[in-house]
Every structure is written in C-alpha cells, then in structure tokens.
Amino acid sequence: MCGIVAYIGQKEAYPILIKGLQRLEYRGYDSAGVALFNDGNLNILKRKGKVNDLLQFSKDKNTAGNIGMGHTRWATHGVPNNTNAHPHPSGDGDLAIIHNGIIENYEPLKKALKNKGHIFTSDTDTEVLVHLIEEVQRETKTDIAEAVRLALSQVIGAYAIVVLDQKDPTRLVAARKASPLVIGIGKDDFYLASDATPIIEYTKNVVYLNDEEIAVVDLKNGLEIKTIANEPQVPVIQEIHMEVERLEKGGYDHYMLKEIYEQPRTIADCMRGRIDSKNNRIYLGGIMEHKKRFQNAKRIIIVACGTSWHSGLIAEYLIEELARIPVEVEYASEFRYRNPIVGEGDIVIALSQSGETADTLAALEIAKKRGAMIYGIVNVVGSSIARLTDAGSYIHAGPEIGVASTKAFTGQVTLLTMMALNLAHERGTISESEYQKLIIELENVPNKIKELLANNEENSKIKYIASVFQNAENALYLGRGYNFPIALEGALKLKEISYIHAEGYPAAEMKHGPIALIDENMPVVVVATNHSAYEKILSNIQEVKARKGRVVAIVEQGDVHIKNIADFVIEIPKTAEPLTPLLAVIPLQLLSYHIAVMRECNVDQPRNLAKSVTVE
Ligand code: G6P
C-alpha cells in the first residue's frame, strides 16, 4: 500500500504532488508528506493524517521547487505520526526517499548501520533503506543511481521507491520490486507514481517499470532503465487512455455512492464487444485464444482476497453449475503458504480490482512456477497481475476510488458469468435455449440496475431501514446458493465502512451457531431472491422471527410470502437465478452506505483500510 508520486521538470512540483497524492489516497491515509528541492535546499514537509492535513500544515510554508516527491502512507512499521511519515532524509540530509512496500531484512541492516554510527529517528524500515543508500554512496564513492542499485541488492522485501540526492538535483532515481511504479514521460519533464492517476493530466505516454528494475529520469539525459543486476533495458513506452472526469466525484457526496450509481454503465462496458446480441453468443477473447486448455481443464482454482474473493465464490457456483468444471476458491494468502497441489492441467484465475494485491500476485507466481495456466481478471489496466498472467480479461469498470469495492465487484461477477456461459457453450454442458435465455437476461441487467437505482420508493425504504439500524452493534447476513457470497459481501460492506460487526452465513448454517445471537435487537438481512431454494429461505426467516430477530429481506418484485413475515422488504427486479447476485448486492451496498453516512463515518476512506494492499 502507500502511494508515491514524484516530479522533475520546469513546473512547480508542489501542486502536482498534492493533486497526485489526493488521487493516491485510496492506497493509505495515515500520513502524508512532500520533499521539494529549491535553491540548493531540500525541504521536507510531513504530517500525520490525510493530504488535507498536510495542505493545512504547509499553508504558510515554503513549497517552491521544480523537483519533488510526495507520499501518502498506510502504516506497516511504526505508528502513524509525523516522524514516521515519509519522505525520510538520510543521516547527512542530502538524500530523501519515498517508499511503498516492506523491507523485510531491515533489522539486521539497521543493526549494521548503527554499528557504523548511523542514528535513526523513526521506527520505519524506509529510514533504514535511505541510510543504507547513503552508506553505500559514502563507501563506494559512486553516484546516486549506482548507490541505489548496490543498496537494493542487499535488500529483501518489496519496494517502489524514489530517491532524490540534493548534490545531484537534475535527476530522480526510482526502483521497483513487487510494488507498482509508473513513469510518465512529458515534453521536458517526468512524473513517477504508484499508478497512472496522478499523471494522466500531463501526459499519455507511460512506462511501467518491471520488477527489479531501476529507472533514472534525468533532465539532461532522459530516461534510462537497468536491472538491479546491472543489465540495461529498453524502455517500452505505452499510451494510456483514462478520462480525468472519471476520477472526480461528479456531483455525488462520496466516490462510493458515485460508483454504486455507475454500475449500469460499468456492467454494460464489461459486456461490450463480448456479447454478440444478434446471434446471442458470448465471445471472451482470453478464453477463446486458449480454448483447448479451458476445454480440457481438470480444475479451475480461483485465488483472490477481500471482495474479489466473494466474486470468486459466485464463480464457483456459476462455473460448476453451467460448465461442469470443478472449481476451488482460495484466499490467496492461504494458498501461497500451504504448498498447494497445483500443476499442468489446472487453470488458476486471479481476481483483483487493483491487480496489485501482494498475496494474489504471490499465489499466481507459485501456480505459474508449477506449470498451471494463469489467467487474470483485473480492473486496473497495465497492473502487475495483468502483466504476469498468460491471458486474461479486463472488467473495464474504470477507476474505483472508494475503498469499499462496489462496481469492481459487479464487474467481476459479470465477467465471470460470461466466462461460465462461454465455457458451458464450448463444452456443450448447457442447452442452446438456456444459453440464449441467460445471455438475453444478462444483457438486461444494466437496465434493471438502473431501474432499481431510480426507484424512489425502494431508495427511501433503504434509507429508512438504515435509520432504524444505524445504532446496531451487530448484524447477521444470510443467503443460500448463488446468494450466499452476497450475504458475505453485504456483511463485509457494512463492517468496512460503518464499523458495525457483521457476519455473513449460509442461511441453513445459522442453526449451527449464529442463531444463538438472535434477539429483538439483532438485524438479520436475508437475501431471499433464490427461486430454487425459496421455501427453504422462507423457513430460515421463520426461524429468525420465532426468536424475535428483525428481518430485512431482499426479495424479487411480486413476492408475496416473505413480505408477510419479514419486518422490512426491499424489492429487486426479477431475473434468472444465476444472475440474481448482480441485482441483490445493490441494495446491500446502499444500505451500508447510508448507515455509514448516518454514523458520520468516512465512507470513502474507512479507518485502517486501504484499497490496494501491496503488503502481505
Ligand atoms: C482491500 C480492499 C478491498 C479489496 C481487497 C482485494 O482489502 O479494501 O476492497 O476487495 O483489498 O483487492 P483487489 O484489488 O485484489 O481486488
């Protein structure tokens, strides 16, 4: 996590850095800081808290300079405070560094540096790294780029760094390993950042730095890249297409709300070009190019974290039901450390909004080493997972800024539904009529979500339910089949942004534990949109009511039975059962959003969380 941004050129660096940091705040917001080089001096300003706190603090300070770097932190080593905030200077004050990642061997390095007389003021691993670079520079009498390279060869861990040496102020040195770094190439200037969002206003031309590469951006000599092993590399310049407007709130109070309302469009964007409406066919490029491998797959293993893991669970139901291929869904963090049985014939699919989640990336690397085909379903174009995989599909949801994932989730589920249908058709496990029916239904989903979001009656009901339960301390979410993962996702959304403890459970499992928690104060949200298990869900609701629990049920329009027993019902438009997750999740997103707003929580930047988890 952590966001880094740097600039070197003719413009004033400070406004570019601040704007960049605001865009990168989704990566962490424990502290923020900048280092600016001006008039022979390196000036570091940093503050605990958000970028706005830094702005306030810097109001009456000197922020001039055409070279600089900025950092927004998600704390790993050392509590969030002013001292642990980045940038960190070297002992002699000549160097400044910003860092995203973790230096795992920082303790022995720190000990050795202390023995050589280095004094540390922060608790961070990053300060150790900048002292190490300083020490290497002193011992080897090399320039800053070579000193960074030599220092990094002693480092174990993950990093994206930018280093500035005030003795050599016409260049910046950057490096990456397992944390992302993009270089923007302007007319006569350069931009460095954790992702392309701080860069797009200024240039479309970018270079994605690869693992274990070092880049030097020099006002005289341009861009040079080499590996840490000292092999020169030819920079590959790519053009990026991103609209600045899609990064702004566009009139909504919060990014999360904007992203919830964007879903009719983002789901349509995800399907665009992949469904042939005339002939009712699905064509997913990534799958068709590797048709044989998919057709003969022994098994599909899905690795993911957080909300993406919930999409994976839905895919398990979809792919097994429709395409009859065995699917396993794994937490990437568990998969990577448990010596998994995986090899040729397996297809490992990584689901990730950011494409940068450290555990998911590591899980893929293991699967690749063991001979499995690796496939990525990601949102961020050019991200590390997208570049590592053998094949894949983008979900095209556009930038998701709210830390709680919404449109990326429905994008993933849409893509996975298309994948299940595509595979089922290729493998002959679905009848032509069922295939066609589901495609037509899928194409109608964006309009149905539009209808749902525009339904004032249902929306005021959701707000009213939010007001009733805003002070709840616990909540239970239940669902079955395709909608069990929706119960998990609904509970996660609530706890992430409103800090109410919530648990998702398969409805029938309730009687093996959670039922003991039910009393007249306990809200129980039941996703009751299944057709096949309707009677079963009805009984589960009766069981909750018999214990005086308060039931909020998500039902399909026209439902009569559940309406009579639940305390509150939210209606969603009717659709085919495998597609109900796409609709049922929307009211749950809105419910947590409104509860969080009523509790005055920071919806877009919930405490302790970050959107891109680049540490394990
Ligand atoms: C973090 C985010 C979640 C996200 C998870 C996985 O925890 O807060 O919203 O679901 O990481 O991220 P990914 O980018 O791999 O989908």
pLDDT at 602: 92
Q: Is the pLDDT of residue 261 over 90?
A: yes
Q: In this predicted structure, what is the pLDDT of residue 427?
A: 93
- Token pair, residue 613, equals 């988890």
pLDDT score for 29: 87
- Rounded to the nearest angstrom, the gap between the alpha carbon of residue 547 and the centroid of all alpha carbons in its chain is 39
pLDDT band at residue 32, thresholds of 50, 70 and 90? very high
From CA 518, how far away is CA 475, in angstroms rounded? 9
Query: How many Å lie between the centroid of ligand 1 and the Cα of residue 134?
Result: 36
In the reported structure, the alpha carbon of residue 612 is separated from the centroid of ligand 1 by a whole-number distance in angstroms of: 6
pLDDT of 266 above 80: yes
Q: Characterize 175-199 residue by residue with b for buried, 16 or more Cβ atoms within 10 angstroms of its Cβ, and e for exposed.
A: bbbbbbbbbbbbeebbbbbbbbbbb
The preferred substitution site among 1, 259, 307 for testing ligand 1, maximizing ligand atoms within 8 Å of CB, is 307
What pLDDT is attached to residue 557?
93
In this prediction, residue 565 carries a pLDDT of 93
For the beta carbon of residue 303, count every other beta carbon within 10 angstroms: 33
Mean pLDDT of 460-468: 95
Cis, bond preceding 514 (omega within 30 deg of 0): no
pLDDT for residue 382: 84
**Which are the contacts of 443, defined by CB distance < 8 A and separation ≥ 6?**
271, 275, 277
Question: Of the residues 2, 270, 305, 601, which is catalytic?
Answer: 2
Q: Which of 48, 50, 258, 611 is catalytic?
A: 611
Q: What is the mean pLDDT of residues 491-510?
A: 95
Q: Where does the pLDDT of residue 513 fall: very low under 50, low under 70, confident under 90, or very high at 90 and above?
A: confident
Q: Tell me, what's the pLDDT at 324?
A: 95
Q: What is the pLDDT of residue 28?
A: 85
List pLDDT tens digits, range 339-376: 999 999 899 999 999 999 999 999 999 999 999 999 99
Q: 476 falls in which pLDDT band (50, 70, 90)?
A: very high
Beta-strand pair 474-479/523-527: parallel
* Ligand 1 pocket by Cβ (under 6 Å): 305-308, 352-354, 357, 360, 403-405, 609, 611, 613
Query: Would you say 350 and 376 are in contact if contact means Cβ atoms under 8 Å apart?
Result: yes
Q: What are the pLDDT digits (tens) for 106-132?
A: 999 999 999 999 999 999 999 999 999
The predicted structure's pLDDT at residue 103: 92
Q: Whole-angstrom Cα distance, residue 269 to residue 275?
A: 11
Catalytic residue check, 278: no
Position 613 scores a pLDDT of 78
Q: How far is CA 38 from the centre of its chain?
A: 36
**Dist. CA 151–CA 130, nearest whole Å:** 9
Q: Which residues of 138-170 are buried (b: 16+ CB within 10 A; e: fewer)?
A: eeeeeebbbbbbbbbeebebbbbbbbbbbeebe
Higher pLDDT, 282 or 534: 282
Q: Which helix (H) or strand (E) holds 614?
A: none
Q: What pLDDT score was predicted for residue 458?
A: 87
CB-count burial class (<10 Å; 0-12, 13-18, 19+) for 15:
exposed
Q: What is the DSSP letter of 87?
A: P
Cα separation values, 120 from 74, 80, 449, Å: 20, 17, 55
Place 74 in a pLDDT band, splitting at 50, 70 and 90.
confident
| pLDDT given for residue 612 in this prediction | 75
Q: Which SS3 state, helix, strand or coil, does residue 479 take?
A: strand
> How far is 360 from 302, CA to CA, in rounded Å?
10
Best probe residue, ligand 1, of 354, 400, 602 (max atoms within 8 Å of C-beta): 354
| pLDDT for the residue numbered 357 | 93
Query: And the tokens for 166?
Result: 């005030």
Sign of CA dihedral 82, 83, 86, 91: positive
pLDDT of 44 reads 97
* pLDDT value at residue 135: 98
22 Cα distance to chain centroid: 16
Q: Which of 141-155, 447-461, 509-523 has the highest mean pLDDT?
A: 141-155
Strands (E) located in 420-567: 474-479, 501-506, 523-527, 550-556
Active site residue 601: no
Strand order in the sheet with 232-233: 88-89, 95-103, 157-165, 171-177, 213-218, 222-227, 232-233
**Residue 505: pLDDT band with limits 50, 70, 90:** very high
State the distance from the centre of ligand 1 to the C-alpha of 5, rounded, in angstroms.
21
User: What are 238's strand-pairing partners?
Assistant: 206
**What does 138-179 look like in DSSP terms, one character per residue?**
HHH---HHHHHHHHHTT--EEEEEEEEETTSTTEEEEEEEBS
Q: What is the pTM of this model?
A: 0.84
Name the band, by pLDDT with cuts 50, 70 and 90, for residue 516. confident
- Running DSSP on this structure, what letter comes out for residue 511? G
Q: What's the 355 CA to ligand 1 centre distance in angstroms?
A: 9
Per-residue pLDDT band for 611 (boundaries 50, 70, 90) equals confident
Ligand 1 center to residue 178 CA distance, Å?
16
Burial 345-381 (b: 16+ CB within 10 A, else e): ebbbbbbbbbbbbbbbbbbbebbbeeebbbbbbbbbe
Q: What are phi and psi of 226, to 5 degrees?
A: -145, 165
Please tell me the residue having the least CA distance from ligand 1 atom 5: 306
* pLDDT at res. 115: 97
Question: Residues 496, 499, 505, CA angle at the centre, nearest 5°?
Answer: 65
* Mean of pLDDT values over 281-298: 90
The residue nearest atom 13 of ligand 1, judged by CA position, is 352
Q: Which domains does the chain have, with CATH numbers?
A: 3-242 (3.60.20.10), 246-450 (3.40.50.10490), 460-603 (3.40.50.10490)
pLDDT attached to residue 247: 78
Q: Is the pLDDT of residue 291 over 80?
A: yes
> pLDDT above 70 covers what percent of the chain?
100
Q: Mean pLDDT check: name the lowest of 46-60, 236-250, 331-345, 599-613.
A: 236-250
Q: How confident is the model at residue 244 (pLDDT cuts 50, 70, 90)?
A: confident
Q: Which amino acid is at 521?
A: N
Give the pLDDT confidence score for residue 534 in this predicted structure. Answer: 86
The number of the ligand 1 atom at minimal distance from the alpha carbon of 405 is 9
Please state the rounded mean pLDDT for residues 271-283. 91
Q: By C-alpha distance, which of 389, 385, 296, 302 is closest to 344?
A: 296
Structure confidence at residue 11 (pLDDT): 97
Average pLDDT, the chain: 94
pLDDT given for residue 457 in this prediction: 85
Ligand 1, residue 403: give the atom nearest the CA.
8
Q: Rounded to an integer, what distance in angstroms lies between the CA atom of residue 593 and that of residue 599?
A: 10
**81: helix, strand or coil:** coil
What residues have CB less than 8 Å from 59, skipping those under 6 apart? Answer: none
Ligand 1 centroid distance, CA of 192 (Å): 23
pLDDT digits (tens, 9 = 90+) for 128-187: 999 999 999 999 999 999 999 999 999 998 899 999 999 999 999 999 998 899 999 999
pLDDT at 437 over 80: yes
Q: What is the mean pLDDT of residues 470-493?
A: 96
Q: Around Cβ 277, how many Cβ atoms within 10 Å?
A: 10
Matching residue, tokens 């993962």: 485
